[in-house]
């Protein structure tokens, strides 16, 4: 409630500042037009006076030459006022556009922060409430040994979920502060990938994860970053697809590169959102009913690019998405 009140007050403050800015712009433009009109009137008056002061005894030819010179001088002042006006209005318009863009970015950031806070609040409350329920059940009821072990296992799962959430938030903060060093090592990518997939399968025992992982594919990569990449992509694929739909993980080495693909048969991603989903805190309207913080793909994109890799989103036919990552084998040193 306090945060929503703060957001409303912040938006009102921004709207007031933007309104004041536009009033000042209108005032400046009005003053400029007044100045331009004054300059033109003065130039015309001076021109008329000079025309009256022409030598009355001069020959018609001399008068015509003098009039042409004065007319050219008058037109020159008109062009000067017009030129200065175009430059001034151009600079002013550029300033207005930049200020408007800054206000728009701030609005988007506030909206993302609001969405993030709502998501994180829900993400924290859900496992905490579940853990409390499990512990109260153990405290108040007489349970069999198997039931006790199941309640404890559920509580541990909720603890792991909280730990992962906190880790994502801390990683995002360390990335912003440039305090997240990565340490690449010559890794058996095949073995590490199988290990991470098995961990995910234990967390999602009811889901089908199909793997195509050849043995002995090696890559110089940070093991912790690799685990984060795979976990984020596979868990997203599981989250945004039906429980009856499988998720497929494919690893291949080809043309001095390693290609990792994660395929799902879920809702898919609209073309106009494919660049946005890697932004911090971004969540599309289609995912608002699902758990998440908008940090997983942001971290994935960061880790991939830190290893000189590329990440691409493709359509999976007939439905769903394919996240494809390509790491160059000989250029996979970590950018610290």
Q: What is the 3-state secondary structure (H, E, C) of 202-218?
A: HHCCCCCEEEECCCCCE
Pairing of the two strands 257-263 and 321-328? antiparallel
More confident residue, 323 or 318: 323
| Tens-digit pLDDT profile for residues 121-142 | 656 677 777 788 888 888 877 7
Q: Is the pLDDT of residue 10 over 60?
A: no
Mean pLDDT (the chain, rounded): 80
Instruction: Say how many CA atoms lie within 13 Å of 102 toward its Cβ.
Output: 10
pLDDT value for 248: 92
pLDDT value for 251: 94
Per-residue confidence band for 183, with pLDDT thresholds at 50, 70 and 90: confident
Is domain 185-328 classified as CATH 3.30.565.10? Answer: yes
pLDDT value for 120: 64
Mean pLDDT of 15-21: 75
Distances 266 to 95, 240, 248, 269, 327 between C-alpha atoms, Å:
44, 6, 12, 9, 26
Mean pLDDT of 270-290: 73
The burial class, CB within 10 Å (0-12 / 13-18 / 19+), for 14 is middle
Q: Tokens in use for 140?
A: 């108040």
| Tens-digit pLDDT profile for residues 52-97 | 666 666 667 776 777 777 778 878 877 887 888 888 888 888 888 8
Radius of gyration of the chain (CA): 33
- Listed residue (176, 187, 193) closest to 252, CA to CA: 193
Total-model pTM: 0.60
pLDDT value for 325: 94
Mean pLDDT check: name the lowest of 121-125, 151-155, 226-230. 121-125
- Listed residue (310, 315, 313, 312) closest to 327, CA to CA: 310
More confident residue, 287 or 156: 156
pLDDT value for 252: 92
Q: What is the rounded distance in angstroms from the CA atom of residue 173 to the CA atom of residue 246?
A: 33
The helix or strand, by DSSP H or E, that contains position 251, with its residue range, turns out to be strand 247-254
Q: What percent of the chain has pLDDT over 70?
A: 81
Mean pLDDT of 195-205: 88
Are 278 and 232 in contact by the 8 Å Cβ rule? The answer is no
Q: What percent of the chain has pLDDT over 90?
A: 17
pLDDT value for 1: 45
How many C-beta atoms lie closer than 10 Å to residue 179's C-beta?
A: 8
- Listed residue (133, 153, 136, 155) closest to 145, CA to CA: 153
More confident residue, 310 or 77: 310
Are 218 and 234 in contact by the 8 Å Cβ rule? The answer is no
The CATH fold assigned to 126-176 is: Helix Hairpins (1.10.287)
Q: Is the pLDDT of residue 16 over 80?
A: no
Q: What is the rounded distance in angstroms from the CA atom of residue 254 to the CA atom of residue 217?
A: 10
Q: 3-state class of 328 per DSSP?
A: strand
pLDDT value for 191: 93
The helix or strand, by DSSP H or E, that contains position 309, with its residue range, turns out to be none
pLDDT value for 6: 45
Domain range summary for the chain, segments of one domain joined by + = 2-114, 126-176, 185-328
């Amino acid at each position: 409630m306090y945060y929503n009140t703060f957001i409303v007050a912040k938006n009102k403050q921004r709207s007031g500042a933007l309104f004041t800015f536009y009033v000042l712009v209108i005032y400046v433009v009005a003053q400029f037009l007044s100045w331009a009109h004054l300059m033109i009137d003065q130039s015309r008056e001076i021109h008329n006076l000079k025309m009256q002061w022409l030598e009355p005894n001069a020959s018609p030819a001399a008068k015509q030459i003098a009039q042409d010179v004065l007319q050219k001088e008058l037109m020159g002042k008109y062009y000067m006022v017009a030129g200065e006006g175009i430059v001034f209005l151009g600079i002013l318009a550029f300033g207005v556009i930049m200020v408007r863009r800054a206000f728009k970015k701030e609005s988007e950031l506030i909206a993302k922060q609001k969405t993030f806070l709502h998501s994180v609040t829900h993400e924290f409350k859900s496992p905490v409430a579940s853990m409390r329920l499990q512990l109260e059940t153990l405290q108040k009821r007489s349970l069999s040994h198997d039931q006790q072990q199941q309640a404890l296992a559920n509580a541990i799962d909720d603890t792991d979920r909280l730990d992962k959430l906190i880790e994502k938030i801390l990683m995002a903060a360390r990335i912003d502060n440039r305090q997240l060093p990565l340490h690449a090592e010559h890794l058996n990518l095949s073995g590490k990938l199988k290990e991470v997939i098995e961990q995910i399968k234990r967390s999602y025992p009811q889901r089908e994860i199909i793997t195509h992982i050849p043995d002995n594919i090696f890559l110089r990569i940070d093991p912790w970053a690799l685990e984060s990449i795979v976990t984020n992509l596979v868990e997203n694929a599981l989250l945004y697809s039906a429980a009856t739909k499988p998720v497929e993980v494919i690893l291949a080495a080809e043309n001095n590169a390693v290609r990792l693909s994660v395929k799902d048969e879920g809702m898919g991603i609209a073309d106009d959102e494919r660049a946005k989903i890697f932004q911090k805190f971004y969540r599309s309207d289609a995912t608002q009913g699902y758990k998440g913080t908008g940090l997983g793909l942001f971290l994935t994109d960061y880790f991939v690019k830190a290893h000189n890799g590329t990440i691409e989103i493709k359509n999976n036919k007939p439905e769903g998405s394919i996240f494809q990552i390509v790491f160059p084998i000989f250029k996979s040193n970590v950018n610290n």
